[in-house]
A and B are shown apart, each in its own frame.
Chain A
Amino acid sequence: MTDRVRALLAKEFADLRRNPGVFIPAILTSLVALALPFFVAVVVPVLTGEHLSDSSDFKTASEMFKSLPWTRMLDPEAAVQALIFQQFLVLLVVGPVAASMSTAAYSVIGEKQARTLEPLLATPVATVELLAAKVLGSFLPALLLTLTVFGLLLAGAATFARPGVYLALLTPQSLAIVFIAGPLAALAALQMAVCVSSRANDARGAQQIGALIVLPITGLLVAEVSGSIVLTVSLTMAISVGLVVLNVALLWLGVALFDRESVLTRWK
């Protein structure tokens, strides 16, 4: 990371500290993502007085889940709880990022609207440095929030779920989602949002288009919850490799799309 990226990042974080309200959507999304698996796996059985493992809806899934090496020691109810916690993991990982999308989408056009972009571009800062700082300025707080929420999820699972369920969240599969695929997907999504921000004609357009970027992530979540795909370790790693390639391509695309002249002379 260059000194100039660090300088811009410090500025981004100082700005965020003065405007903590922008974190509210991300924090709310994270809290919802955190509460949902507990509600489904812990609260609902308590309220209804029925075990989830008795439900035919979960029978096949729990048997499949119990066959996995790191969860075969769980009892049927714990296996269902572990399955639910794992399925909500994707939401937990991408939730804060989705909420940060509007911040990323606003990042470049916001500078232009505040008339701070021209003096910034008059410095020796390179386009790639500017874009990197903008992406990281949204990504790092979202990542920090994700990891915090993951820690809370672990602690909550250890406290409220059946014994051993939290171990299902420490499997290679879960850790690959939380620490590799999730952050890479987040980075790609935020890069796309910043690309949009550097090409949109106004802030509203940038935010609306930025919101569309969440759709593929939502699709992945739906596919996983519905059982259409199972995020195994190998699939997660394959997706991660694809995301690395995508991130490199997006960085190149972002630099190519960022037209200094256009952002200085055409935006109002």
Chain B
Amino acid sequence: MTQTAPILAARDLVKFFGRRLAVDRVSIDLHRGETFALVGPNGAGKTTTLRMLAGLIAATTGHLELEGRPVSARSATRLRRMVGLLTESPGLWDRLSVQQNLMTYARLYGLAQPARAVDAALERFGLRDRAGDDAAQLSKGLRQRVALARTLLHDPVIVLLDEPTSGLDPESARGVRELVRQLQTEDRAVVVCTHNLDEVERLATRVGVLRTRLLAIDTPQALRARLFGTRVRVVLDGDAAPFAAILRSGGITDVRADGSSLSVVPNGATATPDLVRMLVEAGARVESVVPDTPSLEDVYLRVLDGGGGS
């Protein structure tokens, strides 16, 4: 994990809508060069958190720090200059062309050379041949591409993406994922709100599981290790059940047998080589030994079940 100071930090953000608690004491540090995935069920407060991070709505209590300095109502404008927000819906003006949509935003962000910035965005996102088309004529994938172009038009260092691949076909979704990877290499801080855990797996350097409050926050690997331990899968030539019993009698408590394979959490006294030696000495024919990695979905569901705290 990067050791640099966070570019944006949320400190104990709480948000009430009327009497309903939407977000409860959420603290997140966002660093340049990382992709932080915010996952959680519907109504968990992901979009509200994203809006607070974007300076769109104020927290009921708690605050944001931008480059180490607290963000006030007055300095929220500075925050908005540094943030690119992709909203859940592309939010394009349908009767305006792609170019007019982007040009309006280039001018709203006060870019010194708006026409050049729009030109560069059209080129980068492969929209040049559709520049004159009305937004209403675009497919959903293209609309999302225009929205992404708009999000990055002012070269923000903090990029907040709300469900960026929702409803897109696989090809368009892959394009968006490639873009997010690219953003990470451009030294930006990226936050992705999504339900797509496969996407999180592919993109995120850190993940936060939110259900009103942050239930867990860490790298995917660390969450796996914390919730499931460091498991190894040993595939044998033959029934694995008798050897599970041998391992248990040897002091390894977390052993699961499934057909010809064993899923084992080596303990401090018995590392993986010792484990393999025990099996071989017991007469097992070991075919393979590989890390047994639970899916992020397993991790997510375990966290929501109350199995893992921050």
Complex Cα spacing A126 to B74, Å: 11
Judging by beta carbons under 8 Å apart, are B150 and A119 in contact? yes
Complex Cα spacing A34 to B57, Å: 48
Judging by beta carbons under 8 Å apart, are A15 and B108 in contact? no
> B134 contacts which chain A residues (CB < 8 A)?
18
> A264 contacts which chain B residues (CB < 8 A)?
51, 56-57
- In the assembled complex, the CB of A185 is this many whole angstroms from the nearest CB of chain B, namely 30
Judging by beta carbons under 8 Å apart, are B56 and A15 in contact? no
Complex Cα spacing A130 to B235, Å: 65
- Interface size of B by CB at 8 A reads 33
CB within 8 Å for A260 and B107 given contacts A115-B87, A116-B92: no
- In the assembled complex, the CB of A116 is this many whole angstroms from the nearest CB of chain B, namely 5
A86-140 interface with B by 8 A CB criterion: 114-126
Judging by beta carbons under 8 Å apart, are B105 and A123 in contact? yes
B83 within 8 A of A: yes
A1 within 8 A of B: no
> B93 contacts which chain A residues (CB < 8 A)?
11, 15, 114, 116
> A4 contacts which chain B residues (CB < 8 A)?
107-108, 110
A3 within 8 A of B: yes
Judging by beta carbons under 8 Å apart, are B104 and A124 in contact? no
> B56 contacts which chain A residues (CB < 8 A)?
118, 121-122, 260, 264
Judging by beta carbons under 8 Å apart, are A124 and B91 in contact? no
A51 within 8 A of B: no
Judging by beta carbons under 8 Å apart, are B87 and A15 in contact? no
Judging by beta carbons under 8 Å apart, are A11 and B96 in contact? yes
B122 within 8 A of A: no
Judging by beta carbons under 8 Å apart, are B104 and A8 in contact? yes
Complex Cα spacing A95 to B85, Å: 41
> B89 contacts which chain A residues (CB < 8 A)?
115, 118
- In the assembled complex, the CB of A119 is this many whole angstroms from the nearest CB of chain B, namely 4
> B80 contacts which chain A residues (CB < 8 A)?
122-124
What residue of chain B has the Cβ atom nearest to residue A261's Cβ?
Answer: B57
What residue of chain B has the Cβ atom nearest to residue A119's Cβ?
Answer: B91
> A10 contacts which chain B residues (CB < 8 A)?
104, 107
Complex Cα spacing A6 to B23, Å: 37
Complex Cα spacing A130 to B54, Å: 18
A68 within 8 A of B: no
What residue of chain A has the Cβ atom nearest to residue B136's Cβ?
Answer: A18
- In the assembled complex, the CB of A128 is this many whole angstroms from the nearest CB of chain B, namely 12
B147 within 8 A of A: yes
B136-162 interface with A by 8 A CB criterion: 147, 150
B172 within 8 A of A: no
B253 within 8 A of A: no
Sample of 6 A–B contacts (CB below 8 Å): A10-B107, A116-B91, A119-B91, A124-B81, A124-B110, A261-B58
The 3 A-B residue pairs whose C-beta atoms are closest, nearest first, are A7-B107, A18-B95, A115-B89
6 new A-B contacts, CB < 8 A, other than A3-B107, A122-B80, are A3-B110, A8-B108, A123-B80, A124-B77, A260-B57, A261-B58
